Structure 1
Amino acid sequence: MNKLSELVKMTPQLLRELQLKQLDTLVYFKNFCDKNNLRFYLIGGCLIGALRNGGFVPWDDDIDVIMPRPDYEKLHKLWKEQKADGRFRLLKTDDEMFTGNIFITITDTNYTMVKANQTEVDIPHGLVLDVFPLDVCPDSRFARKMQYIWTMIYSLFLAQVVPENHGGIMGLGSKILLSIFRGKKLRNKIWRCAERHMTKYKLEENKCVTELCAGPYWMKKEYPKHIYEGVDYVSFEGLEMPCMSGYDEYLTMVFGNYMELPPKEKQVPHHDIAYLDLNTPCEEYDRKRK
């Protein structure tokens, strides 16, 4: 137990317990996707961990997957239609909910975990699996620059906060825009308009794909679309999980020699956690907070 003004100190034992409990969400998510013929792939640290460690990277504190945009949109629609919410809930900012994220999360409500940037957000604070959309890059350099702009507008008005790493003119401009456009309905219209513009490109008409909703650094990455044209499988904590067939090319583009361990100072969890209770459902925490 800890106060929300403090950050949770992640011992190796606590981190490993967290990792193993997160596997339940991944299994539930995979079963739902398999049942509905939806494609997804392990990415980032999870994929490196599968290849290098057979599971989690020892210091990793979450699970990240990516879905082609059409499958990503179907996920939200089918999840609602099939009433898949229960222990595991799909959270996505829309007219009914504000999450503070610009991507979908699947939350295990059997436990409680509050990220430092979400302490004031009214959502079920469980263990989360992050689901990112895979979008198409336009071949035109001008169109690509416009896609950056639309994505930044989308991110700003969907998350409704200025990212911490945006200082200077961009940070100031973001604060001004949020101060001008204050109404919820107006902000919703703006981010929906931006989303339509940034996702309008067709895979068959362009050469590359990108990760628009994973943050400013990742949205500038461009991957040849052939990397994602097939599916391979890797062992992750004893589970067979899908990855892109061009995983070696993808990981090398992003991380270089991904089989080599990073410097010791970088072998740390990447998220600030304000509260963690792996013995209590998050609804009890949420009820006490209210």
Structure 2
Amino acid sequence: MEQKIRQIQLECIKILSVVDTICRKNHIYYSLCGGSVVGAHLYRKCLPWDDDVDLMMTRENYNRFLQVALDYLPEGYTMHNYQMTDDFQTPFTKIMNENTTVVQQDDTISGVFLDITVYDKIPLDYRFKWDVFLWKISQIVMIGKVQERGFKNIFRNLMLSTIIKDKRKYMKFFQKQVEKIGKKAKEYAYAELFGAFCNTKPYEPEIFENYTEIDFEGEKYMIVRDYVKYLETRYDRTDFREPKEKQVAPHYKYVDLSLPYEKYKETID
């Protein structure tokens, strides 16, 4: 499996190079994100056990990227998000290699992908907390209905079947509100309101408003200048080395890097 992980990483690096080219041509700032920052910091490459590459952008850069990316993506690469496609599974963007197949632990089938998450401005003054309320609803929308009984869950499922049954429409509404609030904020932090996990942790503005480059997999890619402070904020610690028991690839249970995932789906229908 170790050899397979490295092959996945190399496919992810190809997507990273595509995104990097798009961003540099269009003066868009991005940064390595999460475990990719840890890998760059400790090894100048992917973590040996990590089977993906993640990026992050501020809302301004993210919106600009979405506006131009389709004009630059090579054949066989596609972009998936609620702004553009109906088949989205996450509240952020995936850039995908259509000519590969990966099956995740939850049986989701796709091509090898790179995630781009967005960080929005959130006011330091939470007297109203409208954005945080909408963020909580967004988590319910993305997770969907639950099987457990009880009044709260019955009410939740009813809401998902009626008022907020259009997941894509709600996410667009949520984004519009968050952007409006962020533009008005005089004092603010950044937060990953559209991330994969429930997280409104605030990051100091300086982290996301200054960039540099770092050696990563033999090339130079963009990263927030104070990436150590970013890691300390994200992980609430100063030692970013994982214990041996956590050095495992978390995502995939089947991989075929030579088979388009749509053809793989045909074999299991």
Aligned twin of 1:180: 162
Aligned twin of 1:56: 46
The answer to whether structure 1 residue 252 and structure 2 residue 232 are counterparts is yes
Structure 2 length-normalised TM: 0.87
Aligned twin of 2:192: 211
The answer to whether structure 1 residue 149 and structure 2 residue 133 are counterparts is yes
More displaced 10-residue stretch of structure 1: 225-234 or 88-97: 88-97
Aligned twin of 1:129: 114
More displaced 10-residue stretch of structure 1: 175-184 or 126-135: 175-184
Cα separation, 2, equivalents of 1:207 and 1:133: 16
Cα separation, 2, equivalents of 1:132 and 1:90: 13
Paired residue secondary structure (1:61)? coil
Once the two structures are TM-superposed, the CA of residue 246 in structure 1 deviates from its matched residue by 1.6
CA pair 268-30 structure 1, distance change in 2 beyond 3 A: same
CA pair 83-262 structure 1, distance change in 2 beyond 3 A: closer
The size of the alignment, in residue pairs, is: 268
Unaligned runs of 5+ in 1: 1-10
Unaligned runs of 5+ in 2: none
CA pair 204-189 structure 1, distance change in 2 beyond 3 A: closer
The answer to whether structure 1 residue 75 and structure 2 residue 71 are counterparts is no
Aligned twin of 1:7: none
The answer to whether structure 1 residue 195 and structure 2 residue 175 are counterparts is yes
8 Å CA contact retained: 1:107, 1:126: yes
Paired residue secondary structure (2:127)? helix
8 Å CA contact retained: 1:69, 1:135: yes
Matches within 5 A, 1:214-229: 214-217=195-198, 219-229=199-209
Structure 1 length-normalised TM: 0.81
Cα separation, 1, equivalents of 2:53 and 2:184: 26
Paired residue secondary structure (1:89)? strand
Once the two structures are TM-superposed, the CA of residue 149 in structure 1 deviates from its matched residue by 1.5
Cα separation, 2, equivalents of 1:160 and 1:79: 28
- Alignment-mate amino acid for residue 257 of structure 2: L
CA pair 25-259 structure 1, distance change in 2 beyond 3 A: same
Matches within 5 A, 1:4-15: 11-15=1-5
The equivalent position to 2:86 in structure 1, one of 89, 94, 97, is 97
Cα separation, 1, equivalents of 2:104 and 2:60: 29
Matches within 5 A, 1:267-286: 267-271=247-251, 273-286=252-265
